[in-house]
Structure 1
């Protein structure tokens, strides 16, 4: 993520000492993203081996909100879901303070991003997402999706002055559509639980596998938009990133069908989820169009910060409205 808060080697070492993680050998800011301050932290332990971690300083989330995210990661990791596990001190605490900000240190996943995925990558993400949803069903803490419809209602009026007439009309109309959907009985029947809510290509890691293009998924990370919401929204977020043509926003049917089929090998979708998938694909596109507009027009300062282009998810939303995709028969309506 972007570097909003500078951390000195001495500050990083103090946390490593508290957690008995070794001697700092490298501290490097991570320049991508827009929400938190992140550093790669490499350290040498008493056995001489190099261990790698990620140090996160939370810029927006409060110390009251953070236990939901950190304990969720801990909960999932302890149930075999490949996510970074937060490191605890002797008292079991996993939230600390660094440079005056709430902070945590987690394991660094192996591998790298796959920014040009094929059906094989989508299959692994779909199945692992379903495992994550099942593993989170008994998670005891609750927090809503903070970038859900309540947030959209708050920020859309702030964004309208920055838009042209056609964009403003689309934004207003889609918000009304989603408000009506959320108020409907069929929406209330959708299965819910803790979701990632931001599982884009750059939040999943792969490492080389057997043969070219056969990378193995090593984990999901960056859970700091997680919340309790419909599992279907999480699926829709993934489909709108992993299974599309980035230039046009068009859904690639082969990838989308493989993703949903792999998910259903672990957790079959209900009939209601199948019916509402086209609507939730629109909701997921709206969510990221709104947030990217917000980050572009109402930004915060950071030493390394580049807002994502909001026009991408405007295109995705228009595509989902014009060509709804139905997983049951794997086709885009003409």
Structure 2
């Protein structure tokens, strides 16, 4: 959510007339994140978020915006896309796909306690079940195929020991993904990026989840592992906080019970989730794109997380 494509109020003066939002009154770039250009947008009808998509195409975007609409219609607190007068949810702005969604109430909880983790576990399970009848399918674009493609691009920037770890973990994940346990995992649309800064709270109540633009079709357990690897760790060491892990996974299990395959795959999926974000941060750090307000994330954070998962394992699900 950096700003790659600058936008001004003058740019919006005619463009926004196609939406039932009245005049654009204020526009402010959002600095966090590194994929799309995002802005807080104030109009005569209220507050919204405007996104210009820098990598996703017009053909890919229906999956994301329709998924948000699908979940919102089923009571999941997510941003609701706003259609223009022609019923379109994605329209061109400065020659790129753009969308407007409702702005959620609350603020991010960057120092989560077990009570917050339980809220996240509950909503993630509800989100998975609500997506079972979503009609569109699109692969996780940052899944295994992308890992295989991207590892060679970052290896030249790494020392021999770090490169060996990256290659070894990729080999482990390719072997696991080809096995019978992985094939048994339940799957469907997943958020795939449900970090602390993508969830809003009002007090201890979860008020919304947003930034679905890494969503795709993947295993539900991978989505849970991505979430645990952010919400339930010590940020300095990458170590899991067992109280937070138990709170989140028990709350999830209360809505969507874990299967035998889930239990067997839990540690490999935690490692997969760490690899995915280590690799994407390595790529963004060593091969950055220019953008206003862009600060690439530190790739060594998820390297530490991966090393921790390999060395120490993880608490059992619903322990």
Answer yes or no: same fold by TM over 0.5: yes
Q: Equivalent residue of 2:51, what SS?
A: strand
* Long gaps (5+) in structure 2: none
The 5 A counterparts of 1:196-235 are 196-208=191-203, 215-235=204-224
2:117 maps to which of 119, 122, 141: 122
Q: Equivalent residue of 2:82, what SS?
A: coil
* CA displacement at 1:16 relative to structure 2: 2.8
Aligned twin of 1:279: 268
1:239-258 deviations in whole A, cap 9, x for unaligned?
10000000000000010011
TM-score (norm. length: structure 1): 0.94
Q: Equivalent residue of 1:217, what SS?
A: strand
* CA displacement at 1:326 relative to structure 2: 3.8
Q: Equivalent residue of 1:71, what SS?
A: helix
The 5 A counterparts of 1:1-334 are 1-45=1-45, 51-208=46-203, 215-328=204-317, 330=319
Determine if contact 1:260/1:327 at 8 Å carries over to the other structure: no
Moved >6 Å (runs of 4+): none
Q: Equivalent residue of 2:246, what SS?
A: helix
- Name the CA distance, whole Å, in 2 between partners of 1:14 and 1:182: 49
Determine if contact 2:38/2:51 at 8 Å carries over to the other structure: yes
* CA displacement at 1:12 relative to structure 2: 2.2
Determine if contact 1:7/1:98 at 8 Å carries over to the other structure: no
- Name the CA distance, whole Å, in 1 between partners of 2:70 and 2:192: 17
* CA displacement at 1:177 relative to structure 2: 0.2
TM-score (norm. length: structure 2): 0.98
Determine if contact 1:87/1:104 at 8 Å carries over to the other structure: yes
Determine if contact 1:198/1:237 at 8 Å carries over to the other structure: yes
- Name the CA distance, whole Å, in 1 between partners of 2:205 and 2:25: 29
- Name the CA distance, whole Å, in 2 between partners of 1:158 and 1:76: 36
* CA displacement at 1:329 relative to structure 2: 6.7
1:53-111 deviations in whole A, cap 9, x for unaligned?
00000000000100000000010001100000100123321011111110000000001
* CA displacement at 1:14 relative to structure 2: 2.9
- Name the CA distance, whole Å, in 2 between partners of 1:267 and 1:12: 43
* CA displacement at 1:223 relative to structure 2: 0.3
1:214-267 deviations in whole A, cap 9, x for unaligned?
x21111000000000000000000110000000000000010011000001110
Determine if contact 2:266/2:317 at 8 Å carries over to the other structure: no
- Name the CA distance, whole Å, in 2 between partners of 1:320 and 1:294: 21
- Name the CA distance, whole Å, in 2 between partners of 1:171 and 1:269: 29
Distance 1:58 1:196, change over 3 A: same
1:146-173 deviations in whole A, cap 9, x for unaligned?
0011000001011111111110010000
1:268-300 deviations in whole A, cap 9, x for unaligned?
111110111011000000000000000000111
- Name the CA distance, whole Å, in 2 between partners of 1:269 and 1:294: 33
Determine if contact 1:274/1:326 at 8 Å carries over to the other structure: no
Compute the RMSD of aligned alpha carbons.
Answer: 1.0
- Name the CA distance, whole Å, in 1 between partners of 2:261 and 2:12: 48
- Name the CA distance, whole Å, in 2 between partners of 1:150 and 1:69: 20
- Name the CA distance, whole Å, in 1 between partners of 2:207 and 2:13: 28
Q: Equivalent residue of 1:41, what SS?
A: strand
- Name the CA distance, whole Å, in 2 between partners of 1:5 and 1:279: 38
